[in-house]
Amino acid sequence: MLAVIALGLMLAPYVISPPYSYSLLVLIQALLATMVSCRLGLPCWWRWIQFFIPIGLYVGLLVEFNPLWALAVFALIWLVFPNALTERVPLYLTNSTTRDALKRLIKPQKNQTFLDLGCGLGGNVVFMSQQANISEAHGVETAPIPYLLSKIYTLVRGGRTYAMDMWKTDLNYYDVVYAFLSPEPMPKLWQKVKEEMRPGTLFISNSFAITEVAPTEIWELSDRRQTTLYIYRL
Ligand SMILES: C[S@@+](CC[C@H](N)C(=O)[O-])C[C@H]1O[C@@H](n2cnc3c(N)ncnc32)[C@H](O)[C@@H]1O
């Protein structure tokens, strides 16, 4: 992209005489990056990031922005989203329509145990801890800030969350295991589910199916994001 701009700058004097304002050059850079990002294979929503990064850098230079602020923002983002890099699972939350569906999926027997793998802010854990047939609702989370918030939330409203990697959990203990992750960990997670979960128990994946296995049921919900629940009875 810089080479295209450099070429443009070499040719521009034949059409418009210099000097050229930096802000105009930065705007051209941002627009060009925006136009090509989708075509070069990046997910199309990245075009906004491509647009704002050069402008942000330029504004940062203009206002003599202390780089420690950038470091602080980066640290904050890292503390919320470390699993986006390591596991390719960012943080987004289950909505109330999906939670109602989870409630309908619980069997009528008493004393069932529930686990949310990557529990985010702990909303599902609290919700399930308040259901009559759930005796224990647990969640595990490794992102520091979501874990801390989930810990406080569950201390106040019910359930328990642990600062634990989901790969280290013992799924054998649970009757219902819920995951809302991404396509990336699903094949490995299915191996774990198969090895550890007891016959008759439920594994529920929000949005991401296990490609090599047909689910026992698929629920298509009528929320705004048209959530699909893939339900696997072991
Ligand atoms: C899409 S969010 C879902 C949050 C919550 N379960 C919900 O449905 O509202 C996925 C969460 O999984 C967490 N996560 C990803 N990999 C993990 C791992 N190996 N161990 C524990 N948590 C993990 C992420 O940090 C993120 O908070």
122-157 residue pLDDT tens: 999 999 999 999 999 999 999 999 999 999 999 999
Average pLDDT over residues 78-82: 94
Rounded distance from Cα 116 to ligand 1 centre (Å): 8
Q: Are residues 201 and 104 in the same domain?
A: yes
Instruction: Report pLDDT for 112.
Output: 94
The answer to whether residue 72 sits within a structural domain is no
Distance CA 226, CA 207 (A): 9
Q: Are residues 105 and 214 in the same domain?
A: yes
The answer to whether residue 131 sits within a structural domain is yes
The answer to whether residue 115 sits within a structural domain is yes
Instruction: Report pLDDT for 95.
Output: 95
Q: Are residues 167 and 118 in the same domain?
A: yes
Which pLDDT band holds residue 99 (cuts at 50, 70, 90)?
very high
Reply yes or no on whether the pLDDT at 24 is more than 90. no
Q: Are residues 114 and 220 in the same domain?
A: yes
Which pLDDT band holds residue 17 (cuts at 50, 70, 90)?
confident
Reply yes or no on whether the pLDDT at 116 is more than 90. yes
Instruction: Report pLDDT for 110.
Output: 84
- Residue 88 has, within 13 A of its CA and on its CB side, a CA count of 5
- DSSP for 41-88? TS-TTHHHHHHHHHHHHHHHHHTT--HHHHHHHHHHHHHH-HHHHHTS
Average pLDDT over residues 86-115: 91
Q: Are residues 115 and 36 in the same domain?
A: no
The answer to whether residue 12 sits within a structural domain is yes
Instruction: Report pLDDT for 57.
Output: 87
Rounded distance from Cα 61 to ligand 1 centre (Å): 36
Q: Quote the pTM value.
A: 0.84
Instruction: Report pLDDT for 189.
Output: 96
Average pLDDT over residues 6-28: 84
Atom of ligand 1 nearest to the CA of 139: 6
Q: Are residues 115 and 35 in the same domain?
A: no
What are the angstrom distances between the C-alpha of 139 and each of 129, 149, 233, 234?
Answer: 11, 12, 20, 20
Q: Which of these three, 20, 50, 65, is where a domain ends?
A: 65
The answer to whether residue 223 sits within a structural domain is yes
Which residue, 125, 143, 142, is CA-closest to 134? 125
Instruction: Report pLDDT for 156.
Output: 97
CB of 141 within 6 A of ligand 1: the answer is yes
Which residue, 107, 99, 102, is CA-closest to 201? 107
Cis ω before 67 (30° cut-off from 0)? no
Instruction: Report pLDDT for 72.
Output: 95
Q: Are residues 118 and 222 in the same domain?
A: yes
Rounded distance from Cα 141 to ligand 1 centre (Å): 6
What are the angstrom distances between the C-alpha of 177 and each of 80, 86, 183, 186?
Answer: 23, 22, 17, 13
Q: Range of 192's domain? A: 96-233
Rounded distance from Cα 182 to ligand 1 centre (Å): 9
Q: Are residues 220 and 169 in the same domain?
A: yes
Instruction: Report pLDDT for 67.
Output: 85
Domain count, the chain: 2
What are 173-226's pLDDT values in tens digits?
999 999 999 999 999 999 999 999 999 999 999 999 998 899 999 999 999 889
What are 31-68's pLDDT values in tens digits?
998 998 888 888 888 889 999 999 988 998 888 878 89
Atom of ligand 1 nearest to the CA of 116: 6
The answer to whether residue 87 sits within a structural domain is no
User: Which residue's alpha carbon is at the smallest distance from atom 17 of ligand 1?
Assistant: 118
Instruction: Report pLDDT for 42.
Output: 84
Q: Are residues 112 and 53 in the same domain?
A: no
Q: Which of these three, 49, 65, 81, is where a domain ends?
A: 65
Which tokens is 214 given?
A: 């047909």
The answer to whether residue 70 sits within a structural domain is no
CB of 124 within 6 A of ligand 1: the answer is yes
Average pLDDT over residues 64-86: 90
CB of 165 within 6 A of ligand 1: the answer is yes
The answer to whether residue 168 sits within a structural domain is yes
CATH of the domain at 191: 3.40.50.150
User: Which residue's alpha carbon is at the smallest distance from atom 8 of ligand 1?
Assistant: 94
Q: Are residues 112 and 168 in the same domain?
A: yes
